[in-house]
Structure 1
Amino acid sequence: MNSQVNVAVMIGSGVPTGMQIQGKRVCWVVLVNGERRGTAFATRGEALECQAAWRELLQRGYAA
């Protein structure tokens, strides 16, 4: 199976409460086959790093 690993942006009320308290109004999440995996990230760069790690795991045969 070919897994999809995407980065999605969350805006406004989709941002976790803890991040909203810190003044964040946007965050990024990693989706594996459409399901959120892990935490919300404060920067797109962090989410892209996580995306790369997931792709590596999946290429090595890890079942999502």
Structure 2
Amino acid sequence: MRNQVDIAVMIGSGVPKGMREAGQKACWVVLVNGEQRGTAFSTRAEAQECQSAWLAQLSANPVAMRLQA
């Protein structure tokens, strides 16, 4: 099985309460094999950094992620 690392945007009520209270209307999250990993990010660039880190980790040790599932 190949691991998939995606970025999803959350809008409106999907945005965590603290971010909404600060005026944020959208946020980005990283999904690993369809499951959110980590926190919500204020910018897409931050989420892309996290995505890159996940991809590097998974390419270094692809079996570890499958064992966690």
Bin the TM-score by the shorter chain: over 0.9
Structure 2 spans left out of the alignment, 5+ residues: none
Higher helix share: 2
Q: Which structure 1 residue ranges, 4+ long, deviate > 2 Å from structure 2?
A: none
Q: How far, CA to CA, are the matches of 1:38 and 1:18 in structure 2?
A: 16
Q: How far, CA to CA, are the matches of 1:37 and 1:18 in structure 2?
A: 18
Compare CA radii of gyration and give the structure with the larger one. Answer: 2
SS at match of 2:61: coil
- Number of residue equivalences: 64
Q: TM-score, normalised by structure 2?
A: 0.89
Structure 1 spans left out of the alignment, 5+ residues: none
Q: CA RMSD in A?
A: 0.8
Q: TM-score, normalised by structure 1?
A: 0.96
